[in-house]
Amino acid sequence: MSKTTIKDVAGLAGVSPSSVSRSLRGMGGVSAGTTERIRAAADQLGYTVSPAAYRLATGRTGTIAVVMPYLTRWFFAELLGGAEAVIRQAGLDLLLYHIGDLEMRKRYFSSGILRKRVDGVLIATLALTEPEVSALRSLDVPVCMVGTLVEGFSSVCIDDVASARTAVQHLINLGHERIALIAGDPREPMHFTVPPQRHAGYLAALGAAGLPTGPELEAQGAFTVEGGEEATVQLLGRAELPTAIFAECDEMAFGALRVLDRVGLRVPDDVSVVGFDDHPMASYFGLTTVAQDVAEQGRVIADHLVRRAQANGTKPARLGASTRLVIRATTAAPRNKAHNAHNAHKSRTLRATGTAGAALSAARLRRPALANGHDPLERPPGPRPDGHERLATIKKKKGETQQ
């Protein structure tokens, strides 16, 4: 019966409801014998305290809100998984909120829907605007962030700048000098903080090494495989090809790998690629990348949040999370620097398959021809009408026609 109340238990045990309450939550003031009778009565009746009544009486909701801009992307799913385990372990409820677009986001924070509803809020990688921050402050519950620093809120962050710098430094150490960046699109509506930071790390490494930087070496796209493809296509349309590419996230790196593969550029022979995140597919592709344990971050921050939510008065803290460079198979020393220096800019029609060398045929082997026509090399990226022309011919390093 789902209707058993504390009174039923009290009646069965022959005590008052207050004793049942005290006993069941171990507050003392109840003799061992009584406690035993109460416990017996309680689980004979299958009694469960009513969360609503409990919350009303105590004022604590026993609930944590987790708000995420994406549910399906690897990073967020992983984070959610880590947080969920800890939150539930602590006996709290996890209220999930997905903030899909800017309008939802606006409504969400201004509606005050969280008010009186949660004991704590966990927000993933959203760079909050001032009104959003103050809306959260007015909730008067601890707020924890992932990947973003806000005064008064706790957070867990990896060092994106340093980590990106490490990744690029790896390329530099290998001897690369023209290192391109595949970056997140700054027009991204959700204002993530990650892309600019990884961008900064990229620039820092190159700057410190005295290597060239500039728009010629940078291309942008969404933080997805498709975004990575588009950005790489842009790169391939530039006057001079890089010998290495740093992608701000693994998904973009996958996109890069695909495009490079299709045009017959070999990885890492012709171009090295390094990603960021260590997405589960990264090992599949043998992608060199910067690994971060996202689930662990979720656990750490959720644990902190739970603590703050329960023991009120704890101060907000800034937690760190480590990263490490994982070197796999997509990075290597550039083939031949001297040769590379005065490479003949021999242009060649990309889609003239008849002239394809073994490398191109290898690409073809991997991915023969897409039946759904979804091919970035054939379909110029929407916003850039000149993409197609620029791609008709590309500069490619000469030589190494086959082993």
Partner DNA sequence: TCGGGCAACGCAAGCGGTTGCGCTCAACGG
Partner DNA sequence: CCGTTGAGCGCAACCGCTTGCGTTGCCCGA
Sign of CA dihedral 226, 231, 234, 236: negative
Q: Name the segment binding a second copy (CB under 8 A); options: 17-25, 132-140, 163-171, 188-196.
A: 132-140
Count of chain residues binding a second copy (CB under 8 A): 71
* Euclidean distance between CA atoms 172 and 161, whole angstroms: 16
* Euclidean distance between CA atoms 73 and 68, whole angstroms: 10
Interaction with a second copy in 329-388: which residues (CB under 8 A)? 329, 358-359, 361-362, 364-372, 374
Q: Which residues contact 10 (CB under 8 A, 6 or more apart)?
A: 16, 17, 19, 20
Smallest distance from a second copy to CB 352, Å: 15
Smallest distance from a second copy to CB 260, Å: 11
Question: Which one, 176 or 262, has the nearer CB to a second copy?
Answer: 262
* Euclidean distance between CA atoms 253 and 232, whole angstroms: 9
Asked if 24 interacts with DNA (CB under 7 A), we say yes
Sign of CA dihedral 7, 11, 16, 21: negative
100, two tokens: 């899909």
Smallest distance from DNA to CB 135, Å: 18
Which does residue 321 touch among DNA, a second copy, none (CB within 5 to 8 A, set by kind)? Answer: none
Asked if 137 interacts with a second copy (CB under 8 A), we say no
Smallest distance from a second copy to CB 204, Å: 26
Smallest distance from a second copy to CB 304, Å: 19
Comparing C-alpha atoms, which of 191, 281, 177 is closest to residue 228?
281
Asked if 45 interacts with DNA (CB under 7 A), we say no
Asked if 31 interacts with DNA (CB under 7 A), we say yes
Q: List b or e across 217-226, with b for residues whose CB sees 16 or more CB atoms inside 10 angstroms.
A: bbbbbbbbbb
Side-chain-facing half-sphere of 151: CA atoms under 13 Å: 3
Q: Which of 28, 210, 382, 385 binds DNA (CB under 7 A)?
A: 28
- Max CA-CA distance within the chain? 95
Asked if 53 interacts with DNA (CB under 7 A), we say yes
Asked if 208 interacts with a second copy (CB under 8 A), we say no
Q: Which of 45, 77, 317, 333 binds a second copy (CB under 8 A)?
A: 77
Asked if 51 interacts with a second copy (CB under 8 A), we say yes
Question: Which one, 18 or 173, has the nearer CB to DNA?
Answer: 18
* Euclidean distance between CA atoms 78 and 86, whole angstroms: 13
- Contact yes or no for 89/307 (Cβ under 8 A): no
Comparing C-alpha atoms, which of 298, 309, 319, 312 is closest to residue 93?
309
Q: Name the segment binding a second copy (CB under 8 A); options: 137-145, 151-159, 195-203, 387-395.
A: 137-145
Asked if 152 interacts with a second copy (CB under 8 A), we say no
Asked if 54 interacts with DNA (CB under 7 A), we say yes
